[in-house]
Amino acid sequence: MPRSIWKGAVSFGLVTIPVKLYGATEEKDISFRQVHDADGGRIKYRRVCEVCGEEVPYEHIAKGYDAGDGRMVTLEASDFDELPLPSAKAIEIVQFVDLDDVDPSYFAKSYFLEAEGPGAKPYVLLREALAESGRAGIVKVALRSRETLALVRAKGDLLMMHTMLWPDELRDGSFAAPPAEIKANPAEVTMAKMFIDQLAGAFDPGEFTDSYREALEQVVSAKLQGVPMPSTSSGPKDAEVVDLVAALKASVEAAKRRREEAAKAEGKAAKAG
């Protein structure tokens, strides 16, 4: 069981729910060490103080704020623990919103909320009320030395919390939009929607895998065993100017064939079983 990273309480109105917070995700990337390419030796970094020149153990490294005028303020761990901030140990729901009203661009990290002791009954109450109303709670909470906006929602038997970026942390992406004079004609849009319909289905994350990580694992395994490297697939071809309607029509037909073949395969598997 993972360790909780935060303890506090969720409150809505006069109802308080003691909770623990757990990380809901973990990264599965392959980790590498920095090495010297000539002999494979590991690269090490030393934490050296620029004043005394001594190497500093990690436990003696504090956080310093540079005031910009030559002054440096050193903050201890206790300074962060004793912040005069209401959200430091409490998650107060300040607004309820429809889930569809929140742009996914704001979401940062996901967490599980676990009720503690007498918090189980009000936890279930909040979970059921959110699920039946189709809404989520907007909160502010202090995590990892910063206050963040967050959203609390019901998912199955759980309450989950998703930290969110502040509005000024989202960049303006208008520079990436195509020129306004470029338009798609009705026939192209209709054909594109037909292709979308052919690939439409219920989202099942279990159907997808990290192909990049799998390919990287093959390369690492080949190097460890001293065998030839796996063959590489051909890269993408240069884009060509084509008839969009014709290309989409061909795509729709190909998607139909794939679905028919998949349905036949499932039928054979069902008969065999």
Domains delineated in the chain:
6-25+82-169 (2.40.290.10), 178-232+242-272 (1.10.1600)
In this predicted structure, what is the pLDDT of residue 145? 65
In this predicted structure, what is the pLDDT of residue 240? 55
3-state secondary structure of 78: helix
What pTM value is reported for the model?
Answer: 0.68
Amino acid at 260: E
Cβ proximity of 20 and 116 under 8 Å: yes
- The pLDDT tens digits for 56-106 are 988 888 888 888 888 888 887 766 666 555 545 678 888 999 988 999 999
In this predicted structure, what is the pLDDT of residue 235? 53
Separation CA 75–CA 177 (nearest Å): 43
Cβ proximity of 38 and 228 under 8 Å: no
